[in-house]
């Protein structure tokens, strides 16, 4: 009999099916809260991390990216694509998977689907940031763009920030109807709107999350009054923005990692020295967040590797208790590490 892989050869793998089971086991709102707590914890120790802008491979139709980081003990990376035209072919715009490994040995310790997990961590990040920046007592959010990310955003904003009224707009009314259906029963007041202008009426938080790969102006300058928090997460690659630059000029702009955001975020429209505040500094208290009730705060969120790292840490910490994983025979593990050839030869029985 050929030898069977040993324990060392196995990497715990969380499939899409197991990730969905994990969401239901824990509950989506507690899971969003849990992931947000891990992300905030990692933002607090920002200095510890190896940070690099993601490594992108662009094509005419989309982008494939690798997002690595490390806290010195654990290494993680995410593979993620962004293909806006996929939707028309019945495919996901964004799919992803990720990995954690121990820095000390380089051995992987977790492989996980991250299409669902990226949706959760993006929403958790937005809501954690909004909790620091939004006007006190915010209860109404405008949600412009009602695609795959929108329900996750809504639930994270509810459990983390107390949002319970949603004003929904999408150029495709069917997308809004989908959100209305999916969020019925979660206790929101849901208000479909005919225009972006209508959607932002009375909203203290404005989330823009659209998918077109182009310079767009979802929010024009005259639409935005004072005392709001804008959560701009749809502009996330070169050539893809959602806001009029005039809004950026009037707002206090908060970012994850400036070298990446200046290339990918809304601020790609602005000069290279356009002032931004790093979100981790707000969280540690090193920089001010909202400085007055009339300020416009703007989170120019593009998604950074540390957020994926945090989300993978969260998932890893649930494995023992839930058992929601399978072992993958991904690492060759010869009895004598110098005898890889012997292991291969003996596998022939």
Cα separation, 206 vs 221, in Å, equals 14
- Stretch of 173-181, 236-244, 280-288, 309-317 contacting a second copy, by CB under 8 A: 173-181
- Stretch of 8-16, 250-258, 266-274, 304-312 contacting a second copy, by CB under 8 A: 8-16
Compute the residue count for the chain. 349
Count of Cβ atoms closer than 10 Å to residue 13 Cβ = 18
Instruction: State which of positions 96-135 bind a second copy (CB under 8 A).
Output: 97, 99, 101, 103-108, 113, 115-116, 119
| 233 in Cβ contact with 149 (< 8 Å) | yes
Annotated active-site residue 212? The verdict is no
Cα separation, 178 vs 140, in Å, equals 19
Instruction: State which of positions 180-209 bind a second copy (CB under 8 A).
Output: 181-182
- Stretch of 17-25, 132-140, 220-228, 272-280 contacting a second copy, by CB under 8 A: 17-25
- The DSSP result for 216-276, as a single string, is EEEE-GGG--SS-EEEE-S--BTTBEEE-HHHHHHSEEEES-HHHHHHHSGGGGS-TT---
In the complex, minimum distance from the CB of residue 150 to a second copy, in angstroms, rounded to a whole number: 8
Q: In the stretch 216-235, what mask flags binding to a second copy with x, by CB under 8 A? A: --------------------
64/216 with CB nearer a second copy = 64
Helix ranges (H only) for the chain are: 16-26, 28-44, 115-133, 150-161, 173-183, 196-199, 245-250, 258-264, 279-284, 305-322, 340-346
- The one catalytic residue in 42, 236, 252, 308 is 236
DSSP state of 202: T
Instruction: State which of positions 140-159 bind a second copy (CB under 8 A).
Output: 146-152
Q: In the stretch 19-58, what mask flags binding to a second copy with x, by CB under 8 A? A: xxx-xx---x---------------------x-x--x-x-
184/194 with CB nearer a second copy = 184
Q: Which of the residues are catalytic?
A: 236
């Amino acid at each position: 009999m050929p030898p069977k892989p040993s324990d060392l050869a196995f990497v715990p793998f969380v499939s899409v099916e197991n990730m969905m089971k994990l969401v239901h086991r824990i509950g989506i709102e507690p899971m969003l809260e849990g992931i947000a707590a891990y992300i905030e914890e990692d933002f607090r120790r920002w200095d510890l991390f190896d940070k690099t802008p993601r490594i992108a491979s662009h094509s005419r139709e989309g982008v494939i990216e690798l997002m690595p980081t490390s806290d010195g003990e654990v290494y993680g990376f995410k593979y993620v694509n962004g293909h806006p035209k996929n939707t028309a072919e019945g495919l996901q715009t964004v799919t992803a998977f990720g990995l954690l490994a121990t820095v000390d040995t380089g051995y992987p310790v977790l492989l996980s689907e991250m299409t669902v997990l990226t949706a959760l961590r993006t929403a958790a990040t937005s809501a954690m940031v909004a909790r620091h920046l939004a006007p006190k007592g915010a209860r109404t959010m405008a949600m412009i763009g009602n695609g795959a990310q929108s329900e996750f955003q809504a639930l994270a904003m509810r459990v983390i920030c107390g949002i319970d009224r949603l004003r929904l707009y999408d150029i495709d009314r069917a997308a809004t109807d989908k959100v209305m259906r999916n969020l019925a029963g979660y206790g929101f007041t849901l208000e479909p709107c005919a225009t972006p202008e209508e959607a932002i009426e009375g909203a203290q938080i404005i989330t823009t999350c659209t998918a077109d790969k182009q310079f767009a102006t979802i929010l024009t300058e005259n639409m935005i009054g004072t005392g709001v928090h804008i959560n701009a997460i749809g502009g996330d690659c070169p050539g893809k923005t959602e806001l009029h630059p005039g809004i950026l000029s009037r707002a206090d702009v908060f970012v994850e990692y400036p070298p990446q955001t200046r290339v990918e975020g809304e601020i790609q429209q602005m000069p290279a020295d356009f002032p931004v505040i790093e979100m981790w500094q707000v969280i540690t208290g090193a920089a001010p967040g909202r400085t007055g009730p009339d300020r416009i705060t703007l989170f120019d969120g593009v998604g950074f590797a540390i957020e994926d790292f945090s989300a993978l840490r969260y998932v890893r910490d649930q494995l023992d208790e839930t058992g929601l994983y399978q072992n993958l025979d991904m690492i060759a593990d010869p009895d004598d590490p110098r005898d890889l050839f012997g292991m291969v030869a003996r596998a022939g029985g």
